[in-house]
Amino acid sequence: MKYQRILLKLSGESLMGEQSYGIDPKKVAAFVQEIKEVYNQGVAIGLVIGGGNIFRGLSKAGRQMNRTQGDFMGMLATVINGMALQSVLLQNDLSALLLSGLKIDKVADEVTPLRAQQALSAGQIVIFSGGTGNPFFTTDTGAVLRALEIDADVILKGTRIDGIYDKDPEKYPDANKFEQISYEEALQKELKIMDTTAFALAKDNQLPIVVFDMDTKGNLAKVVNGEKVGTLVH
């Protein structure tokens, strides 16, 4: 097994399935089965989920509301997604702890690195919600921060595309896929892997990132076991 401790980053939109918004129970159940397979191999798992399926603060703020308020609404959306994922994990007999960057003690414990580390060591899956707890940061930045706090071996960014390409493969059939790429080359080519703040934080701390297709059954286990799936950024 290549990675013993991972931070899995999923977009909120990935939870929509075939819907145009909200949470598709079938999609959440499918993700949980992928997570369960890896968990049963003894991998320690941290999870970060976006909130774009419910509310995207950045896109709404400029048109309709204050940016700070919009970002806090987006963070609350990630808490809702975290609750949904926790519920299905528990239904599948997996111990899952929901932590939040926002103080919502009726729903989730507040994030501290020690609490997260202890939970992982005790065999719990840890879901990080509420972003960093501060506006002006994306869930990508939150994911890198949490990965560093739990000493994760890697960030696994699950998407609907099977890696990183030199241009959008959904628009350009001649797009070329990278099997691996350095942080420096990714910056030079202006590849949109994560937002600038998140990517710089990963680069400065030499935290590898694997971008892969989470929708393909078995891919998560393949990545964890070191198979050539997706694109490795290092």
What is the pTM for the complete model shown?
Answer: 0.94
pLDDT averaged over consecutive 10-residue blocks of the chain (234 residues)?
A: 95 88 93 97 97 72 73 94 97 97 94 97 97 94 97 96 89 91 91 90 96 95 95 96
126 backbone dihedrals φ, ψ, rounded to 5°: -110, 120
Strand 164-165 vs strand 177-178: parallel, antiparallel, or unpaired?
A: antiparallel
Q: Check: CATH 3.40.1160.10 for 5-233? A: yes
Residue type, 121: S
46 beta partners:
7, 126
pLDDT score recorded for residue 116: 98
Strand 177-178 vs strand 154-159: parallel, antiparallel, or unpaired?
A: unpaired
DSSP 166-208: SS-TTT-TT--EESEE-HHHHHHTT--SS-HHHHHHHHHTT--
pLDDT score recorded for residue 64: 67
Q: Where are the beta strands (DSSP E) in 73-133?
A: 96-100, 109-110, 125-129
pLDDT score recorded for residue 56: 67
Each domain of the chain, given as residue ranges in start order, spans 5-233
pLDDT score recorded for residue 20: 82
User: What's the burial of 232, exposed, middle or buried (CB within 10 Å: 0-12/13-18/19+)?
Assistant: buried
Distance in Å from the first CA to the final CA of the chain: 18
pLDDT score recorded for residue 63: 62
